[in-house]
Amino acid sequence: MDAFNLLMSGFEIALTWENLLYCLIGVSIGMMVGILPGLGPSAGTALLIPMTFGMDPISAIVMLSGIFYGSMYGGTITTVLVNVPGEAASVITSLDGYPMAKQGRAGVALGISAIGSFIGGTVAIIGVAVVAPQLVKFALAFGPPEFFALIVFGMTMVVGLAGKSIIRGSIAVVLGLVLAMVGMAPGSGVVRFSFGIPHLIDGLNFVTIAMGLFGLSEILLGIEQQMKKPEKPPVVKGLFPSRKELRPSLMSIGRGTGLGFFMGLIPGTSSVVPALMSYSIEKRISKDPKRFGNGAIEGVAGPETANNSFCGGALIPLFLLGIPSSATMAVLLGAFILHGLQPGPTLFVRHPDFVWAVIASMFIGNLLLLFMNLPMAKMWAKVASVPFKLLFPIIIAISIVGTYSISNSLWDVGGLLVFGLLGYFLKKADIPVAPVALMFILGDLMEKSLLQSLALYKGDFFAIFTRPLSGTLLALSVLVITLSIVAGFKSKKDNLVDVEA
């Protein structure tokens, strides 16, 4: 009950006109930053930190966190409308969000994302407020072996997305893993396949890969299609899911919320993991998995919710341990310190006004986003009806500046082109591109956590299996893989549906 009173006083602070205004500004700037591809949430937040220097700490953090979740939502908009995912988790949203937009249901996709994000975000925030201290133990129980097992489990989920042909799907999976090998090897620091180019020492950039494989290749294919057989832009249909879809989407929002929250507690998890898991759970329990990849609403609702509640859950390790779960969280942490707030278990005791005001403002920010986006979803959806010949040069112009801003160099613009062409040819050869991008992220994490675990146990691989959490996860992975293989052999074509469409 104590927490409730504190939360109420938090609302009092957050609901002052001044803070409300900063929250609104933050959310709007965040949406703008999110819409510009390449400039993901972390860069967006970091670039705007200087704007907050003269502000009162609470207002500053309120605005910065507004930028943060505003940009996450903005990223969804470009993903759904033009298939340019600006960050890892959006890759999953693109699987079904973009097909929905093609069917004229962009408004529905954006609407359900807004609703899902709101529910996921607020439930996670309530979770933070109520059970935060008890959950720190769970977060810390995740050492390198558990992390390795989690990533392996995630990989088995990607295999489920691999498409209609086992060979083509496997090529995509392995190609993603090979791309992940470029750059400095974990553990030994040996630089692999950099060929003397300093940009490659850290490996390839994910955003470049995603924007090329998805965005640019899609535009190239779109040009061809428009010239061969001009298609009228889809008619924008309503904003709300049909009555038949409402229940399943609410169910997937519920599942996504829980999943995202717990994943958020584990420091170092990429937000792609909860989104990916949510997507495959939805696909697996769906009565008709064939719809996935062709505009299934659950495939948008679940992952989008998971992604947002992931960010809420991630506040627990951030507030209590000062451990950021993602690059964006790290930037927020920097902003905390910059404004004289040291995270730690005593943060709740020393600056209760601050903590609760921020939590309350996140609640308000999510509400603002919902109210801004439901009406705006309709407007955004109209973007999809802009004539393609006018739309695509603009998207490419934005993508060029966006990729440039990743490391402020033309190198990434070149990367956009290379991966765009790669995606274009792969799609023509019926090789799905989503596993390439997802495996690229997971491969890196997998090798790193495996080497850490082995270094901890001096090379004893079986020690990973004997830990309860990691052992369970690995056993589950084996089970999932076996099931997919059995299913694959039983009915070669029916069970593994091509998600690329």
Partner 1 sequence: MKKLFSFVLVLLLVAGALAACSSQESASSKSTSGESSGTSENDDGKFPNKPINVIVAYDAGGGTDTTARTLQPYLEKELGVPVNVINKPGGSGWVGWTEIANAEPDGYTIGYLNSPNFASGLVNPTMQRGIDLDSFTILANHVADPGAIVIRADEDRFTNFKELIDYAKKHELTTTATGVAGDDHLVTLKLNQKLDTKFRAIQFEGTAESRSSFLGGHVDVLITSVGEAYSMHQNNQLKVVAITAKEKSSFLSDVPTVKEAGFDEIISQSTRGLVAPKGLPEEKVEILQDALEKAINNTEHQKKMKELGTQVLYANGDEYLKLLQQDIEDVKGLKDLLGW
Partner 2 sequence: MGNFGVWIGIFILSIACFIFWSSQPLQYYGEYGPGPGLFPTWLSGVLALLSILYIIDCLRKENRISFSNVIPKGKVLFRVLTVVASIVVFILIAPWTGYLIAGIIVTIIMLLPDFKWYSSLAISTIVTFALFFIFKTLLDIPLPVNAFGW
The reply on whether position 425 binds partner 2 by CB under 8 A is yes
Is 232 exposed, middle or buried (CB count within 10 Å of its CB: 0-12, 13-18, 19+)?
exposed
Dihedral, CA of residue 135, residue 136, residue 141 and residue 147, to nearest 10 = 90
469 binding partner (options partner 1, partner 2, none; Cβ < 5 to 8 Å by kind): none
When binding is defined by CB under 8 A, the residue of 135, 236, 276, 416 that contacts partner 2 is: 416
Alpha-carbon gap, residue 292 to 275, rounded angstroms: 14
Give the shortest CB-69-to-partner 1 separation in angstroms. Answer: 17
447 binding partner (options partner 1, partner 2, none; Cβ < 5 to 8 Å by kind): partner 2
Give the shortest CB-273-to-partner 1 separation in angstroms. Answer: 15
Here's the x/- map for partner 2, 222-241, by CB under 8 A: it reads as: -xx--xx-------------
400 binding partner (options partner 1, partner 2, none; Cβ < 5 to 8 Å by kind): partner 2
Alpha-carbon gap, residue 238 to 241, rounded angstroms: 8
The reply on whether position 175 binds partner 2 by CB under 8 A is yes
User: Which are the contacts of 229, defined by CB distance < 8 A and separation ≥ 6?
Assistant: none
The reply on whether position 200 binds partner 2 by CB under 8 A is no
The reply on whether position 188 binds partner 2 by CB under 8 A is yes
Is 47 exposed, middle or buried (CB count within 10 Å of its CB: 0-12, 13-18, 19+)?
middle
The reply on whether position 368 binds partner 2 by CB under 8 A is no
Amino acid code (one letter) for 475: A
The reply on whether position 3 binds partner 2 by CB under 8 A is no
C-alpha 243: how far from its chain's center?
A: 28
Q: How many residues bind partner 2 (CB under 8 A)?
A: 63
The reply on whether position 454 binds partner 2 by CB under 8 A is yes
| Helix/strand/coil for 104 | coil
- What is the SS3 string spanning 444-497? HHHHHHHHHHHHHCCCCCHHHHHCHHHHHHHHHHHHHHHHHHHHHHHCCCCCCC
User: Which are the contacts of 46, defined by CB distance < 8 A and separation ≥ 6?
Assistant: 331, 334
As beta bridge partners, residue 183 has 192
When binding is defined by CB under 8 A, the residue of 126, 451, 469, 501 that contacts partner 2 is: 451
Alpha-carbon gap, residue 409 to 390, rounded angstroms: 27
167 binding partner (options partner 2, partner 1, none; Cβ < 5 to 8 Å by kind): partner 2
Cβ-based nearer residue to partner 1, 252 or 405: 405
Q: Which stretch binds partner 2 (CB under 8 A): 55-63, 199-207, 373-381, 410-418?
A: 410-418
The reply on whether position 458 binds partner 2 by CB under 8 A is yes
The reply on whether position 168 binds partner 2 by CB under 8 A is yes
The reply on whether position 36 binds partner 2 by CB under 8 A is yes
421 binding partner (options partner 2, partner 1, none; Cβ < 5 to 8 Å by kind): partner 2
As beta bridge partners, residue 192 has 183
Is 199:69 a contact under the CB 8 Å cutoff? Answer: no
Which DSSP string do the residues of 160-225 spell out, in sequence order?
A: TTS-S-HHHHHHHHHHHHHHHTSEEPTTT--EES-TT-GGGTT---HHHHHIIIIIIHHHHHHHHH
The reply on whether position 490 binds partner 2 by CB under 8 A is no
Q: Kindly report the number of other CB atoms within 10 A of residue 432's CB atom.
A: 24
Give the shortest CB-216-to-partner 2 separation in angstroms. Answer: 8
Q: Give me the residues that bind partner 2 (CB under 8 A), please.
A: 32-33, 36, 39, 44, 47-48, 165, 167-168, 170-171, 174-175, 177-178, 181, 185, 187-188, 190, 192-193, 219-220, 223-224, 227-228, 389-390, 392-394, 396-398, 400-401, 404-405, 408, 410, 413-414, 416-417, 421, 425-426, 428-431, 447, 450-451, 454-455, 457-459, 461
